[in-house]
Amino acid sequence: MIARQMITDGIMPLKTSDTGRIALSWMEDFRVLHLPIVNHMGFLGLISEFDIYDFNNLDEPVGNHTLSLSTAFVYDHQHIYDVLRLMQQQHLSLIPVIDENDNYLGSISLQSLLEHFAKSLSVSDPGGVIILEMSSMDYSLSEIARIIESNDAKILSLFVHSWPESTRIEVTLKINRVELGSVLQTFNRYNYNIKAIFSEQDDLDDLRERYDSLMNYLNI
């Protein structure tokens, strides 16, 4: 998914002649802390709520002030991961999208980004979640996929979390089955450390109890 596919409807950019008071009113209406400033179609920069509160006079045009976030934007062809990274790095509530000629195309709000990201992770699809912990040297996506597919299941989404100054990683798997017993048994047979499991089918405590019983049985 790329930036131009995620543009949020209804968020209007400011003109240089708009005042700080107007900007604050629009921010409240759109429930954001930032707004783009556009001259005709040209993107000039992003103004924040904090920038506006630094104005000596809220009735001054926003174009009279230096923008602290002039480089906060993404190009229309950039991937959702680039959008998420920049919004996180600069703590943005929205991010402008421009084309290769610096023409403003629209903005992506944080709420819209989260909705699109949730869809890409198959959050709303039925299934179970397994979290594996391992050394980064032992990580093999092909083997993990083979284990899951050998149990007539499919990976819907996967992401890896690592820690600074550590070789340990967590691999979170969303698979298209709510009954996880056979998949867990196979991971155990291949000596994977299963850190956590979540299923829509069961209460977590009940699932953990049945998982512990399965592990005890396999260790007999």
Region 174-192: what's the mean pLDDT? Answer: 92
At residue 172 the predicted structure's pLDDT band, cuts being 50, 70 and 90, is: very high
pLDDT, position 138: 94
User: Strand 128-135 and strand 193-199: pairing?
Assistant: antiparallel
Are 20 and 73 part of one and the same domain?
Answer: yes
Residues 105 and 27 in one domain: yes
Q: What pLDDT is attached to residue 120?
A: 73
Q: How confident is the model at residue 29 (pLDDT cuts 50, 70, 90)?
A: very high
Beta strands in 49-192 (DSSP E): 74-75, 94-98, 104-109, 128-135, 155-162, 168-175
> What's the mean pLDDT in 164-171?
92
What distance in Å separates the CA atoms of residue 175 and residue 179, rounded to the nearest whole number? 10
For residues 7 and 114, state if they share a domain.
yes
Structure tokens at 139: 């990580």
pLDDT at residue number 208: 57
Q: What is the pLDDT of residue 213?
A: 61
Which pLDDT belongs to residue 200?
A: 65
Q: Tell me, yes or no, whether 123 lies in a domain.
A: no
* pLDDT of 160 above 50: yes
Are the C-beta atoms of 87 and 113 separated by less than 8 Å?
Answer: yes
The pTM of the whole model exceeds 0.75: no
List the CATH number of the domain containing 85: 3.10.580.10
Residues 59-110 pLDDT 10s: 989 888 777 666 789 999 999 889 989 998 999 999 999 999 989 999 999 8
**Is residue 107 domain-shared with residue 7, that is, in the same domain?**
yes
Give the residue from 118, 139, 173 where a domain finishes.
118
Q: Average model confidence (pLDDT) for the chain?
A: 87
Range of the domain at 45: 3-118
If you write DSSP's letter for every residue of 54-72 in order, what string do you get?
T-S-TTSBGGGS--TBTT-
Please report whether residue 155 resides in a domain. yes
Task: Note whether 113 and 158 are same-domain residues.
Answer: no
Residues 40 and 104 placed together within one structural domain of the fold: yes
* Best CA proximity match to 96, nearest among 213, 19, 181, 11: 11
Q: How confident is residue 220, by pLDDT bands cut at 50, 70 and 90? A: very low
- Specify whether 97 is located in the same domain as 146: no
User: Mind listing the pLDDT tens digit for each residue in 110-159?
Assistant: 888 888 877 777 777 788 999 999 999 999 999 999 999 999 999 999 98
Q: Residue 144 maps to which CATH number?
A: 3.30.70.260
Q: Are residues 56 and 141 in the same domain?
A: no
Are both 58 and 81 inside the same structural domain? yes
Asked if residue 46 lies in contact with residue 91, where contact means CB atoms within 8 angstroms, the answer is: no
